[in-house]
Each structure stands twice: as C-alpha cells, then as structure tokens.
Amino acid sequence: MKISIIAEKPAVAREIAAIVGATQKEDGFLHGNGYMVTWAFGHLVQLAMPEEYGFAGFVRENLPIIPEVFKLVPRQVKDGKEYKPDGGALRQLKIIKHVFNSCDRIIVGTDSAREGECIFRYIYSYLNCRKPFDRLWISSLTDKAIKEGLQNLKNGSEYDNLYQAAKARSEADWLVGCNSSQALSIAAGRGVFSLGRVQTPTLAMICKRFIENRNFTPVPFWQVKVQTGKAGASFAAVSREKYDNKDAANRIFQLLQEQKMLCVQSVEKKEINQEPPLPYDLTALQKEANSKHGFSADKTLSIAQKLYETHKLITYPRTGSRYISADVFDEIPDLINLLKQHPRFGSYAQTMDNTVLNIKCVDDKKITDHHALLITENTPNGLSCDEQTIYEMIAGRMLEAFSKKCVKDATTIVLACGETLFETKGSIIKQAGWRAVFGEQEEAGEDETGNLPEIANGETLPVVQSEVLEKQTKPKPLHTEASLLGSMETAGKNVENEAEREAMKESGIGTPATRAAIIETLFARDYIRREKKSLAPTEKGLSVYETVKDKQIADVAMTGSWENALAQIERGEMQPETFGKAIEVYTRQITAELLETKIAANDENTCLCPKCKTAQVRFYPKVAKCADANCGLIVFRNISEKQLSDGQILELLTKGKTRVVKGFKSKAGKSFNAALKFDENYRVWFDFPDKATGKGKK
C-alpha cells in the first residue's frame, strides 16, 4: 500500500520525509519506502471572491451577498483591480492531486490546529478527493515526536468538529468582511474601507483608549511625605489621605514641623505566598516579549515559529493553553536536566535536583489543541540574538512554572501625627523560589519601601524631613501591543487575576494564532501607527471608528461571543448550521446599519476635480485624488521631503498653482523654495521664483 503525506510547509515535509525514508526528490514532493510526501504553502485554496458569484464591483443593490453554497478556488492574488489565481498555487495543487491519486491513503501532517485542519480539508474538497485519511497530531517537530505521532495516527473523522469550526470561522469572516467593507465604502462614497469581524472591534479598543487618553483632564492632588527612622535605618511614609487643595497639605506639613515626632499606631506583619506563573501560551509570550523587549506580536510569533519549525527547540507555538497533561509532566525532569548545561540557567536547574516539582500547571482538563509552550530535548546552537531571547523566555518560564513558590514577609506600618495617618510598606523575601530563575525582584510600588527596621506599636519616631508632594490623576495609557493582546484575550474586560483570565479565553476576540495578524492588518490598512511602544490610530482609523463605534460591527463583546460559539462547535456542543444562521442574520443587520451612514467629509477639504471637472477630489493622509478612478488625477502630500498642507493642495487644485512653498529638499540635501503648478496633463511641477518655466517634474 502506498501512502501520501501532506504537510503545511516544505520544511516540515522534509522533516517527515526523512523519518519515513522518502528521500527521492521530485518537483513538489519527495518519495521512497512506500511514501509520497508533499506540501502546501499555507492556504492554497480559499473561499471565492464575490465576483465568482456574479457580484462585480460595489453595488448597493447586491448587498448583503450571502452565497447559498460557498465556492472554493485556488489562492488569489490581486492584479490591478482584479483578482486572479496564484500561478504557484495552481502548480502545487496539480502536484498534490497527482500525489493523492497515486496513493491509497493520506496522512494529514498540516499544523495540528484549527487552521491547519482547514488548509488540508479545503485542498481535499477542492480536488474532489475521496481517499481515506488519518491525522498526524504532534506538538513538536523533533524526530522523537514525529516517530511517536506516526505510530499513533488518529482517524481523520475524529477531527471533523475541528474542521467544522474552522470552516464556520472562515465563512463568517467572509460574510462579515466582504459585506461590511462594501457597505461602508458605498455609504462613504469615496475610497475603499476595510472592516472585519475581529479587525474592527480591535480598532475600536485602540481608538477608544486613545480618545479617553487625549480627552482626559488631570486633577491635581497633594500628599505629604515624611522621612523617619530607627537605629540608623531610615524610611519614608506617605499620608493616607489625598488632599484636593495645597493649603490642607501645607497645614499637615506645618504640624510635622512643630511636633517633630510620629507615633507608631500599628505594625502588621504577614507572610505572603506568590505562586509561580503558568507556562506561556502564545498570547502570554507575545505580551511579555513586547513589554520587556519591545518585540511586536508578529515578530514574536515569527521567531517562535522558526524555533519550532527550523530549530525544533520548542513545542507548537500557536497554542492557546497554559497547562500540560500528566503524561507530558513525566518528561519535565529530563527537560530540566537538559538546562543544567545552559550557561544562563545551569546553576538554577541544578538546585531543582531532588525537589518536589510544582504541579499547579498540570491539568488534563484544561488542555486545548496543544499543551503550554515548552522547550524540547534538543540543545540550542547557533541562534540569533532575538531567537536566543525568545528561547530563554520559554526555557526560563518553564523552570519558573515548576519551581517552589516565592515566600515573603510583608510589613505595613501606620504612623500618626495628630489625626493624620501616614503609611509605609516593606517586604523581605524569605524564599526566592521561582523568582530566582531570572534573579528578578518584584517591583516595589510607588509608596513602598524595601526592608523596614523592627518597630513596635506605641513607639515614637523622629521627623527627620518632610515635604508636600504635588501629584495629578493620570489617564489610562495608550494601548501597547502587550495591553492590546490582553484586552483581546478578555474581550476588553480589565482582568488582572491569572485564573480569571484563563476562564475568559473562550470569550476573547481572535485566537492566539490570529491576533498578531489582526494587529498587522490594522497597520497595513493605515488604521493605526506606532508611537514608540504605544499604538495610536491614524486619522483614517479614527474616521472609521467614529463612523462605526455605535454599530454592531464594533461590538467587542459580541465578537467574543462568536469565538465562544466556535469553541462549542469544536467540542461538538453546537451545530455549525446554528452558528451560520446567526452570522447571516448579523450580516444583514450590520450591512443595513452601515449603508445608512456616511463618513463625514470636511467640505473645506474637497473640491471639484480640475481635470475631469465632474467628480470631487478627496483628501487622504498621503494623497489627494479624484474620486473617479478613471480620471487618474493625484497629488502626493510629500514632495521632495516637504509635507504639503490641505490648504496648499487646495490652492493648487482650485488655482492651478500655489504660492511659493518653503522647505523643499533636493537630492543633494539642499533646501529650496518653489511654487507648485500643474502642466497640461495635470502633473505637478516646480515653478521657481523669478523664472518663467518650472523644472524638476514630481
């Protein structure tokens, strides 16, 4: 019997082929030892565009477009204003068809997750294949994992629910994305606007935080800080009360100057146990890599994918679980032993000999498609600096997760001067536990002190120094990728508790595997931009948000409920038809909502096109161009490193020429001044002062 194996990418196919002995290379596949191993290049087959159903262009009367049966087509690429099949996809599909037809049975080796299942099933369906297939379900690409997976193949039908969830997600995104984007573009009457089931609520979270931050009015308040001490050990305490006027704070300051003594009102000591963090899933890894190292979510995923596929140093990175199963736990001691040779973690790993490992993260019931991110038995060599960073984050977190808890003695001291109370907090680590892995100490709070001297109730302490602190209330900071990923994970709800965040995952928006791509899509659409580590909307993004913020398409909670429904389909608890009907109703509602609205245009920034004299010129962040695509008039905002204002462009459009504009730069870097004017073909030229003709067409 001849068996075909299909992987998601060529690199993975080569790893599997080496294990099964398929060493002879052909165009698009390998064969040998009774096996033929081929590969996809990600999504080779996709849902057909509206044109395939007879709906060309953006026409109000066509909406909403809801196909009775979705068509599958080879991957499409944009050619001008139209889409055509990707030639590379067509070639590889032909090869895959040949491989499938030459074999008796198929082994599915695409990524062991929802999208990997969808990639295979769409190819299988498009090719009208009827061959039986089994599933290779593995969590790492080491030789050991592949061999064990091949010995424990699962019948393909066991993953039917996983495919149904993937198919439902794909069709829902098509319905919502195509119809909402067309509806808003039609209603706006200018430009093309992209909306999406997950993309738009994510944009809404960024814009809402940005507007709250921008419109926040800080409120001043005052506190009094006093410096005291005992037996040579000094510490500071801050007034519990926050005063809304400086005079009240000054009165307390004067009281301290007069009395020069503080009475110890209470000393509270308690032991605090800090449990180790759970191992990473992808979102947790991306959040921490962003906050600690400034990596974007997309960069972290790309590095993790390379550590998984190329170096085979970590388990499947696109996991949504932070737990491991009991059988995986059996392998943890060997992985810890491996780290005894690691230059950074070696000494700590040796201290874990003969200790009882923490089992907080061991729970078979909480495993999703894959267990939490772990290292593999392979030794890291030749990694780049960024790859080393991500590998050490994963390895270090694994050590933390199975380490002892951190134990601290925490002390809170309350001091009194008259009726005014001052408070200070301090702590001493008795057992570093998991915090010793990276040698990190917990960051002290704004009003916290480190080690405090031994002090008893009723003691009096001297006022060494005091001062009035002027402070302001602060807005919530702009989203970073780390905070945005956290908000996507909990559908915008502010949840700090780790266990509560875990419980909310099924109601988050997007999945760990897709959130980075969603954020990158917002950048690609010119909806958001980076301001250092923060995310801020562009004018275009704000305009879209202001238009849709009260519409269902921007409802974060509703999008979260869709993700929960997809998880139920995956578990066999909901029929995909039920979800599909709900999405159809939702699509009709949002399409109707969007067709009734418009993106407001500033009348001062529009004018009749001087070239075609029929359509309006619309202003965008990078260009001003005629709304009639056939006209072709366009004026770029940036000319010779000078950013033109709306007024300067409007002057050019209405008068055919601007006044002299200062601050252009030549290719040699020299500044110059010139007016701008149109030639007879409405191309922009420089018109230099005191010269009759322009030079240097732009």
> What's the one-letter identity of residue 174?
W
Q: How many angstroms separate the CA atoms of 530 and 481, rounded?
A: 10
Q: Following CA atoms 371, 376, 381, 385 in sequence, which dihedral angle do they give, to the nearest 10 degrees?
A: 20
Q: With beta carbons less than 8 A apart as the criterion, state whether 287 and 346 touch.
A: no
Give the tokens for residue 148. 């064990």
Q: Any bridge partners for residue 162, and if so which?
A: none
**Helices and strands counted in the chain (H then E):** 20, 29
The two tokens of residue 125 are 């369906």
* Residue 487 in tokens: 């908000």
Name the token pair of 399. Answer: 């050590």
What does the alpha-carbon distance between residue 588 and residue 182 come to, in Å, rounded to a whole number?
Answer: 13
Query: Which of the following is catalytic: 35, 243, 316, 682?
Result: 316
Q: Give the Cα separation of 282 and 516 in Å (integer).
A: 10
* Phi and psi, residue 308, nearest 5°: -80, -50
**Distance between CA atoms of 222 and 229, rounded to whole angstroms?**
23
Compute CA distances 129 → 96, 104, 121, 123, 524, whole Å.
10, 11, 10, 9, 37
Return the number of other C-beta atoms located less than 10 Å from residue 334's C-beta. 9
Contact 684, 653 (CB under 8 A): no
CA distance linking residue 177 with residue 194, whole number of Å: 7
**What are the angstrom distances between the C-alpha of 698 and each of 518, 634, 641, 664, 676?**
35, 11, 12, 12, 10
527: annotated active-site residue: no
**Residues 6 and 136: beta-carbon distance below 8 Å:** no
Contacts with 648 (C-beta within 8 Å, 6 or more apart), sequence order: 658, 661, 676
DSSP tag of 659: P
425 vs 21: CA distance, rounded Å? 65
506 to 139, 169, 590, 599: CA distances (angstroms): 21, 14, 24, 34
Pick from 466, 465, 462, 427: which is nearest to 231 by CA? 462
Burial 231-268 (b: 16+ CB within 10 A, else e): eeeebbbbbebebeeeeebeebbebbeeeeebebeebe
Query: Position 299: which residue type?
Result: K
List C-alpha distances in Å: 21 to 12, 37, 491.
14, 10, 47
- In the sheet with 105-109, reading across from the earlier edge strand, the strands are 24-26, 29-32, 35-39, 3-7, 105-109, 133-135, 154-155
Report, as residue numbers or ranges, the catalytic residues. Answer: 316
